[in-house]
Structure 1
Amino acid sequence: MANINPSADNVRAMLTESLGRVRQASTEYFDLLEKNLGASPLPIADQAKQFCNYLQRNVVATFDLGDKLIQAKDVQDALKVQSEFFQAQMRALTDQAKDMGESAMKAASGMFQPKS
């Protein structure tokens, strides 16, 4: 008969295995997306690649959060990990928004320059 009340170590092992599978699938997805964006003739392909890179970094950070939460020893440890993640993501979001804004401004200013 199946163990109805698995131990914390068994739950952690199952979660770690599942997270590993999802992480691998995500990596394969982003590799495929990057390959397709690289072959795109669209003028916004560079901005799309930049956005994709930011998205991939955020997904990896979320997976790292999952790894850390799985290893948390108690609720207080989990809350600390989550708080650190939130602060790091807010800093990353600020930097990414700044970079994307600068990229958009460069693209927009290039549209209004006279063609020679």
Structure 2
Amino acid sequence: MSEPARERFEIPQDMRSMAETSFKQARDAFEKFLSGAEAAAGSIEERGESMRAGARDLNARALGFAERNVEASLDYAESLIHAKDLSEIMRLHGEYVQAQMKALAEQASEMGQAVSRAAIDATKPKH
């Protein structure tokens, strides 16, 4: 696409309005899902006192990572809705992909360390 064609690209208002409505519904659904997941996690912890601290830590980390990743995706989608032209969409996409790759690498490292700690703690002899 030529540079002038990119500059003329505009998202129609009807499409923008529809995307904003869909975005709001997705965010509301995510918030309801998160509340339900937190309630379920709390219920499991109450019923299973024998659950190891390492497993609770891993669950909390995974839930936290999922929450942050979905929030980042929703924020990205919202920014796309408000993009003024194709070049801004391309810039936003590049920034999002780069930020998510960095976040996923950090999350994988953190989960690996937590799993190692939990495995070490689980194999320690009880006194």
TM over 0.5: yes
What is the root-mean-square deviation in Å for CA atoms of aligned residues? 1.3
Aligned pairs, number: 110
Given candidates 46, 51, 60, the residue that maps to 1:49 is 60
Contact 1:69 1:81 in 2 (8 A): yes
TM (normalized to structure 2)? 0.81
Deviations 1:49-100 (A, max 9, x none): 2101101111111111111111111111101000000011011111101110
Residue 111 (structure 2) aligns with: 100
TM (normalized to structure 1)? 0.88
Higher relative contact order (CA 8 A, sep 6+): 2
**5+ residue gaps, structure 2:** 1-10
Percent of pairs identical after alignment? 30
Choose between structure 1 and 2: higher helix proportion: 2
The question of 1:29 aligning with 2:33 is answered yes
Q: Distance in 1 between matches of 2:82 and 2:119?
A: 46
**5+ residue gaps, structure 1:** 1-6
Q: Distance in 2 between matches of 1:64 and 1:76?
A: 18
Contact 1:69 1:78 in 2 (8 A): yes
Contact 1:12 1:70 in 2 (8 A): yes
Structure 2 counterpart of 1:19, which letter?
F
